[in-house]
A and B are shown apart, each in its own frame.
Chain A
Amino acid sequence: MKRLSISLTAVFILTLCLFVSSYAKKPKEIVIPCIIDISGPYAPITAPAFSGFSDACEYVNQRGGIKGVPLKPLIRDCGGRVNVAVSHYMGFREMKPKPLTLFISVSAEGEALKQRIVEDNLVAMSVPGGTTIYPPANTFGLYPLYQDMFGGFMDWVVENWDFNKMGRNPRIAILTWDTTFGRAILTPEVDDYAKKKNIDIVDKVLFSVRDLDVTTQLIRIKMKKPDWVYTNIAVDGVAAIAKSAQGIRYDLKLGGCTVLDWSAIMLAGKLLNGTTLLYTFKSWDDVNDPGIKLLTKWFKEKKRKPTDRTLVYQLAWANVLTMQEVISKAVDKVGWDKLDGAAVKIQMEKLKDFSPLGLTYYSFSPRKHAPGKGYIAQIKDEKIIPITGWRELPDLRPAEHR
């Protein structure tokens, strides 16, 4: 009898061990694949993501990774070329085990990979080019849609406009790049929203991403006497506007969104003072903020270059921390053995005001895959200073996708 009970106990323990090892079949590591333009035309904007990913993954790993599984950043340079991005993507999807997530830093690549990401059951976070985000698939915006940010800027303009005193509507001219990214704010929904808000869009002028001088465009805009010139561009394009305006002594009031950041300030310096931004991430200059304190500490410890102190470095952190959050929740829900892109996507769509290190706010739903919060900031003494609190941005997606 004693021998039988010992045998039964042994069989029971053995069975339990087998069961537990099957359920808790943890991977050795979780790969965080990133396709970044490090050597191509968008490199001045996106290259800091390289250090951002390395640091953020190390930060997460020091705190136990995702339920004890370390993260491994896998960063590939696409050189701004979509065929190279697709080639890297093919390499990612054939890894064993297949990655769950993907980070994409260029709009055109996000659009090209959108359908493949669905077919391969991954979850991607990408810069929010319109068709990348809607109709909703498996790609989520790293920050709000460009048109929503412009809408938020228009809200602020109207809030600070005394219609009775001025006796007219505020006037905004748009000066932006002739690219997918730059044109993202030129939509009928934006025009309708401006009308609804009693804002006159007096001109829409485009320039090439390679143009270093926009004097001609500014002279044309100046004749329309806008109160604001709004632009949806980054880095050297912003510097081109600021320097051209200085050249013709045009004291323009410039408006922009979250992509107009420190990388532009480093190029244009004092010329950007007074620029008003619809911002969606904590400012690096908000030195007392706990999240910024932490990033600054890492930045110093890793001896990162000052040129990496940009929005994109923060985007990389936000992406890694968001993936940590949703993968953890997905593991809780389905276990390691059933963990896949679909389980992660469900958790992504359930995120409500998730704030990685307090840097930004991510809320997604099955119908909307881009966040919708921001605040107004102004550039003063070459620093980005918040002038309002966080606020909801208008939803300016096409009606059929709302």
Chain B
Amino acid sequence: MYRPCGTFDETYIQDIAIIRTPMHWSSLIAGIILLFSLPFLVSGKYLSLLNLIGISIISVHGLSILTGYTGQISLGQAAFMAVGAYTTGLLAVYLKFPFWLALPCSGVITGITGIIFGLPSLRIKGFYLAMATLAAQFIIPWLIVNVRPDLTGGTDTLVVPTAHIGSFAFNSQERIFYLVVPMAILVTFLVRSLVRTRIGRAFTAIRDNDLAAEAMGISLFRYKLLAFFICSFYAGIAGSLWAYWMRAINIDYFLLSDSIWYLGMVIVGGMGSVPGAVFGTVFIRTLDLLVKNIAPWLGTVVPSLAGVAAAALGPFVFGLIILVFLIFEPRGLAHRWEVIKSYFRLWPFSY
């Protein structure tokens, strides 16, 4: 790990610490204070975006472990989120589970579902595995809609009760923010810790060369399925939070296009990078909303673009920016972040 000049580790605890310097600590504390002040500073519209970013970060961290660290491509992340969301919906509506119990249960059940769809990874990889995980994106919605539509609502929306802790209801964007953001921070911390453990190193070894990893004694069976479990567990947690955030779930919210975008967030942020998952999610989600908000204004500035053309300009601009970004920064935003940090470490005496 790179660290500023003059920072020495004198104990093992210091050596394995994630946060190392007083500057790290002060930045972290200031950042968290600023983050938790946001509900008092920004409008509900932007809090809604922040909540979406928080939920997406949890899901993208899961996908980052599977795809970025273990090298197993998955195109079914949105479907796994659907499992989490519907598990929460069913537990909360029919069994009256409180949210703090429904949330982990949804994660575990989605994790088990992920293991089932991860089984083909033991025999196939690359594009073939992508196709196998794509099956999840078709099979899971079909099961949700058709097996017990009397419970799931089928294609209708299932209304989810508000999450409560005692008498405190998470019934507004401001309140749900204090549920989603701590969860996103916790998951980020857990993922950051996980990738530095034996398990994390096993994942990386499998990604780099699975045959060599097996020859070194790493059980592909165990670790690949573990990666699928962790990926789906986080997807389930994200889906559960989505359900409590929206207070309504419909299978139309978890489409293949969403799975592809989650993969896009991992790629844009930087494969195999914890900050990359955060950067990629923040970048894509913000850009998405930004373009949608700019489009109507653009219509007033450029009258020839007024009307439907301006509004539909969103996806066009969005795709264009992503394309340009991928061409000029293929290693993702995490790499750009490292470059910026290095520059400022030496500034103003850079060479």
Contacts and interface: CB of A to CB of B under 8 A. Distances in A.
A164 B292 CA distance: 60
A39 B157 contact: no
B250 A180 contact: yes
A108 B246 CA distance: 12
A164 to B, nearest CB: 40
Interface string A261-294: 0000000000000000000000000000000000
A87 B52 contact: yes
A146 to B, nearest CB: 12
Given A79-B292, A131-B156, A87 B45 contact: yes
Contact of A111 (B48, B156, B315): B156
Given A86-B246, A131-B157, A77 B252 contact: no
Given A90-B43, A91-B43, A77 B295 contact: yes
Interface in B210-255: 246-248, 250, 252-253
A114 B252 CA distance: 17
B74 to A, nearest CB: 21
Contacts of B47: 90
B41 interface: no
Contacts of B153: 131
Given A94-B43, A180-B252, A86 B156 contact: no
B45 A91 contact: yes
Q: Majority SS of interface residues in chain B?
A: helix
A115 B169 CA distance: 14
A39 B311 contact: yes
Contact of B250 (A38, A54, A108): A108
Given A86-B246, A130-B156, A77 B314 contact: yes
A144 to B, nearest CB: 18
Contacts of A79: 292, 314-315
Interface in B296-310: 296, 307-308
A183 B154 contact: yes
A50 interface: yes
Contacts of A51: 307-308
B106 interface: no
29 contacts: A38-B311, A39-B312, A47-B308, A51-B307, A77-B311, A77-B314, A82-B250, A82-B253, A83-B52, A86-B246, A87-B45, A87-B48, A87-B52, A88-B45, A90-B44, A90-B47, A90-B48, A93-B44, A94-B43, A94-B44, A108-B250, A111-B248, A119-B171, A129-B156, A130-B156, A131-B159, A182-B155, A183-B155, A183-B156
Given A94-B44, A183-B156, 17 more contacts: A39-B314, A47-B308, A77-B292, A79-B314, A81-B253, A82-B248, A82-B253, A84-B292, A90-B48, A90-B173, A91-B43, A93-B44, A111-B156, A112-B250, A115-B248, A129-B157, A130-B156
Interface of A: 38-39, 43, 47, 50-51, 54, 75-77, 79, 81-84, 86-88, 90-91, 93-94, 108, 111-112, 114-116, 119, 129-131, 178-180, 182-183
